Amino acid sequence: MSGLIVRGARLLGGETGDIRIVDGRIDAVGSVDPAAGDHMIDADGLVALPGLVDLHTHLREPGGEASETVLTGTRAAAAGGFTAVFAMANTSPVADTAGVVEQVEALGRQHGYATVRPIGAVTVGLEGRQLAELGAMAASRAQVRVFSDDGHCVADPLIMRRALEYVATIGGVIAQHAQEPRLTEGAQMNEGPLSGELGLAGWPAVAEESIIARDVLLAEHTRSRLHVCHVSTAGSVDVVRWAKKRGIAVTAEVTPHHLLLTDETARDYDARFKVNPPLRRAEDVEALRAAVADGTIDIVATDHAPHPDERKECAWAEAAFGMVGLESALSIVQHTLVDTGMLDWAGVARVLSTTPAAIGGLAGYDAPLAVGAPAHLTLVDPEASRRWSTDELRGRSRNTPYTGITLPGRVIATVHGGVPTVLDGALVDADTVATTAGGR
């Protein structure tokens, strides 16, 4: 049977080798003799990573198709080296029923660019009052395991306690958007000297840290699992570190943008830099990088949040929160963690693939690039360098904060379950991907 051979890639142990993919699985790794009819990818100088997994993506469909769809969002994902994305629940209608999550999951399967695992809402309509039918979503064809009201905090301590307890019965996890709502009413940017100067309402670090502190104690009390979304402050890192030391089952993520950008970017009132939680101080950026390096923060997740131009080309307070991140995530991780010597490529595989898959209960990622495993892999050229612009984006929206910055690294190929979605640095067209994926 003919296969696909990745020739001469740098494997995670640092050695150079080939990878042969047959029938959607990794057939051989090391020195591989091509069989007749095998397609070849020349991977000389490229690093082979397991397919990247994003635990925090906003695909916007249903309801937000002007910003993104499952198709455009998974194309952006593939371009960024991702083979699986967890789609947040804040769509319209909200993903709080089995029907919605099944629809989103099916769209992902139909298009074939990436595995789409819907995240279910914790509460009906994300309103924080009544638990959504977590069991029904878990038992649906979408097999939901991650639940989040992201965009909103599950602020009511009783609802949070019950959600943590309830989700344990179905083997899931609550992914909390930690934001004390009363402490952040009208909040526009990090509370600090610059918010005071610019006259923008502050979003204080304590509004995040106090919720995380409460939630890790609730997780301990209920003996449940907690995942903390987009940790953004040094204080939050301290709380998570304390909780882990105590043996509490907590995992945490950081976004690429919180690993690079600071609140100084607000100075020009350019709303491309408006995001929730807000960009913080340089000290926070340093603490977040160190926390990824020492494992306190388990994963990097994009919080890819597409918005149309008109939601950003306006006064800061009127603009939407969020930035796109799928296409740039790996470059930002390389820039902030690999090129600074804080993480090696095996570490990148851990924070962007193995661990997010494990947290999300996604099978097929526990043995990266091992023979017999599903063939999800990403080839990155670490020597490449790009001056970032909106031309690098493949989704429907253009709200990237990195325009004009020179970033290292470039995804040359992405293979999702044996199906190439990116080849020679370009997306494979939608028909080919859908047909090839459908044929499996």
Partner 1 sequence: MKHLLTTRDLDREAAVRILDVAEEMAATADREVKKLPALRGKTVVNLFFEDSTRTRLSFESAAKRLSADVITFSAKGSSVSKGESLKDTAQTLVAMGADAIVVRHPASGAAHRLAHAGWIDASIVNAGDGTHEHPTQALLDAFTLRRRIHGADARGRALDGTRVVIVGDILHSRVARSNVWLLATLGAEVHLVAPRTLQPAGIDEWPVTVHALLDDALATEPHAVMMLRIQRERMVDAYFPSEREYGRMWGLTAERFAALPADTMVMHPGPMNRGLEIASVAADSTRSTVLEQVTNGVSIRMAVLYLLVAGVEEERA
State the catalytic residues.
303
Q: How far is the CB of 155 from partner 1 (least distance, A)?
A: 18
Closest CA to 332 of 81, 10, 45, 36: 81
- Nearer to partner 1 (CB atom), residue 119 or residue 200: 200
Residues that bind partner 1 (CB under 8 A): 185, 188, 191-202, 268-270, 310, 313-318
Please say which residue, 194 or 357, places its beta carbon nearer to partner 1.
194
The DSSP secondary-structure symbol of 76 reads H
Shortest Å, Cβ 145 to partner 1:
40
Give the nearer residue to partner 1 in terms of CB position, either 23 or 185: 185
The annotation places the binding site for Zn(2+) at 56, 58, 150, 177, 230, 303
* CA–CA distance, 202 with 204 (Å, rounded to integer): 6
Q: Give the count of beta carbons closer than 10 Å to the beta carbon of residue 424.
A: 10
Beta strand residue intervals within 322-405, DSSP E: 377-387
Annotated binding site: 56, 58-60, 90, 150, 177, 230, 276, 303, 307, 321-322
Give the helix ranges, DSSP H, for 295-416.
Answer: 329-333, 345-349, 355-360
Shortest Å distance, C-beta 271 to partner 1: 8
Burial of 423 (0-12, 13-18, 19+ CB in 10 A): middle
Q: How far is the CB of 59 from partner 1 (least distance, A)?
A: 26
Residue 34 preceded by cis peptide, ω within 30: no
Which H or E run contains 284?
helix 282-294
Binding site listing for substrate: 58-60, 90, 276, 307, 321-322
Closer residue to partner 1 (CB): 207 or 300: 207
To partner 1, the closest distance from the beta carbon of 284 in angstroms equals 15
Nearer to partner 1, 246 or 267 (CB): 267
Short-list 63, 50, 23, 8, CA closest to 306: 63
Closer by beta carbon to partner 1, 30 or else 193? 193
What DSSP state is assigned to residue 123?
Answer: B
Q: Is the peptide bond before 278 cis (omega within 30 degrees of 0)?
A: no
Give which of 422, 423, 418 is closest to 25, Cα–Cα. 418
Nearest by Cα to 315 from 277, 271, 278, 265: 271
Read off the tokens for 352: 């962007």
Q: How far is the CB of 268 from partner 1 (least distance, A)?
A: 6
CB of 306 to partner 1, least distance (A): 19
Look at the chain and count its residues.
440
Question: What tokens appear for 223 in the block?
Answer: 């003996």
Q: Is 422 helix (H, G, I), strand (E, B) or coil?
A: strand
| Virtual torsion, Cα 344, 74, 285, 267, nearest 10 deg | 140
- CB of 99 or CB of 308, closer to partner 1: 308
CA distances from 425 to 26, 369, 382, 384, 413 (A): 21, 20, 13, 11, 6
